[in-house]
Amino acid sequence: MALSRVCWARAALWGSAVTPGPFVTRRLQLGRSCFAGGAPRYLFPRQLLIRHFWTPKQQIDFLNIYHTLRKQSHSEIMNYLEKVVPLVSDAQLRWHLKDLCTKIQNGTHPAVHDILAIRECFCSHPLSMNQLQASHMKALSRAMLLTSYLPPPLLRWRLQSHTTVIHHLDRALAKLGVGQLTAQEVKSACYLRGLNSTHIAEDRCRTWLGEWLQISCSLKEAELSLLLHNVVLLSTNYLGTRR
């Protein structure tokens, strides 16, 4: 598959500026296998069990419940962002963040430049990776299809590590080109990044993934908390996924 070239030829794609360690390498190998079909397996381990022991109807019911919980976490995250707007020190950034939250809560899909306009909000208190509250990290974990039942230090470490891996994959995907991915790889890539792509047309998924990559590849390491929140910001209202 095209995506395997991303995972196994990552050194050539990234260049000498990036040297992934053992953790990143292992996650990339796992990420390679997850694109074979359906939801990413290493992010959704229970699926490996229920697919063998549950009937098709039971599996569908479980996934519907899971997507409902994911939507609930999206609402929690948006509510939290609105709550911390007054805590942002820069007045202009505060205005941009409030405006973005209002647009999303009113059902508008934000433009790439609207999201990048608030990137500096995620470098310091209260939205930097090291400043996130435990309850907020739990909601972010659920939105990323990760278990939230861990102590806060482990939640923070795991979210940061997971976001770093996705950021590295994004840079490789951008160099390869979304057009090189198969339809199933595109849908799985969207699912991994927060979009429930099950019932979205392939061309629309490619458009969304392109928007994600524009944002991701514009971010520095200190701004990766924005990429973590982008799971909600970019996917909540895309083609009616808010419903």
Summarize pLDDT for 55-99 with one digit per residue, the tens. 566 555 556 666 666 677 888 999 999 999 999 999 999 999 999
CB 217 within 8 A of CB 174: yes
Whether the pLDDT of residue 16 is over 60: the answer is no
Those residues with Cβ within 8 angstroms of residue 116's Cβ, 6 or more apart along the chain or in another chain: 215, 218
Give the residue with greater pLDDT, 41 vs 160: 160
**How many CB atoms lie under 10 A from the CB of residue 82?**
16
- Distance between CA atoms of 76 and 153, rounded to whole angstroms? 20
Burial 219-238, CB ≥16 within 10 A → b, else e: beeebbbbbbbbbbbbbbbb
Highest mean pLDDT among 20-24, 62-66, 218-222: 218-222
pTM for the model: 0.76
Give residue 179's pLDDT band: very low, low, confident or very high (50, 70, 90).
Answer: very high
Domain boundary assignment for the chain: 43-240
